[in-house]
Amino acid sequence: MTTKPPGIVILISGRGSNLEAIIEATRRGELPVDIRAVISNRPDAAGIAIARRAGIETVVIDHACQADRASFDAALQTTIDTYNPGLVVLAGFMRLLTPGFVEQYRGRLINIHPSLLPDFPGLNTHQRVIDAGREVTGATVHFVTAETDGGPAYLQARVAVRKDDTAGTLAARVLRQEHRLYREAIRQVAEGRIALDNEDRVILDGVPLETVPLLGTAVVTGT
């Protein structure tokens, strides 16, 4: 008996770099998911074209056309639910979500952030890492909660910070690791290895996580 891959919906706001990496991994058979839709809150998001070229259904819900955040979230939830996804993936989705929305998808809503959370949540991450004199940064995949970038993390990748790094050069190296990291993180959920219990603990292969695992063991130093 063949098991159907779990359905996912991907939310974007911009260029769609992580989206494209997820699509390519799915095409190569490396990621056992069915991408049912890509939803953007911005009609000019470049990621929309990426999804359409891949034959994936796209929807735009322009936040600027909604009365307030709650109205936008209600429209977004209604649209997501038409696709009945097992997982909702934030891939460069630049909107704060209301607690009610987050609770609706508790344990089914994940995000990737370009730092080693809990350090450096929020925006302007790479410049803040450089300004703080950190030698290592990275990226984190976590379940989404009402606290911005504060939900339980379950997979990270580490990247070295160079002495001559700018925010741009560091961002580019971290982004390449994000592509690898998100693919593996989505796979773990899709295969039923990762879950969130009723106490907001991450469960990996039936055992609560004590520390956040790393993708690989080395700090990435390459270009």
**Residue 187, CB half-sphere, CA atoms under 13 Å: how many?**
16
Q: Answer for the pair 170, 126: CB distance below 8 angstroms, yes or no.
A: yes
Distance of CA 178 to the CA centre of its chain: 9
Q: What is the pLDDT of residue 91?
A: 97
When pLDDT is averaged across residues 205-212 and rounded to a whole number, the result is: 94
Q: What's the pLDDT tens digit per position in 146-178?
A: 888 999 999 999 999 999 999 999 999 999 999
Please indicate whether the domains covering 1-105 and 111-223 agree at the CATH topology level.
yes
Helix (H) or strand (E) holding 171: helix 167-190
114/220: higher pLDDT: 114
Instruction: Name the 3-class secondary structure at 162.
Output: coil
- Is residue 79's pLDDT more than 90? yes
Cβ-proximal residues to 48 (8 Å cutoff; 6+ apart), any chain? 12, 16, 38, 40, 58, 60
142 tagged catalytic: no
Residue 89 in tokens: 């993936």
Classify domain 111-223 by CATH number.
3.40.50.170
Provide the residue ranges of all domains of the chain, joining segments of one domain with +. Answer: 1-105, 111-223
pTM of this structure: 0.94
Given the residues 63, 113, 126, 142, select the one marked as catalytic. Answer: 113
- Is residue 188's pLDDT more than 90? yes
- Is residue 111's pLDDT more than 50? yes
Percent of the chain with pLDDT over 90: 92
Q: What is the pLDDT of residue 22?
A: 98
Classify domain 1-105 by CATH number.
3.40.50.170
Q: Which residues pair with 58 in a beta bridge?
A: 38
When pLDDT is averaged across residues 106-130 and rounded to a whole number, the result is: 97
When pLDDT is averaged across residues 207-220 and rounded to a whole number, the result is: 85
Q: What is the pLDDT of residue 2?
A: 52
State the average pLDDT for the chain. 94
Q: What is the pLDDT of residue 5?
A: 87
Please state, in angstroms and rounded to a whole number, the distance separating the CA atoms of residues 84 and 123.
31
Please state, in angstroms and rounded to a whole number, the distance separating the CA atoms of residues 36 and 142.
21
When pLDDT is averaged across residues 53-57 and rounded to a whole number, the result is: 97
- Is residue 1's pLDDT more than 50? no
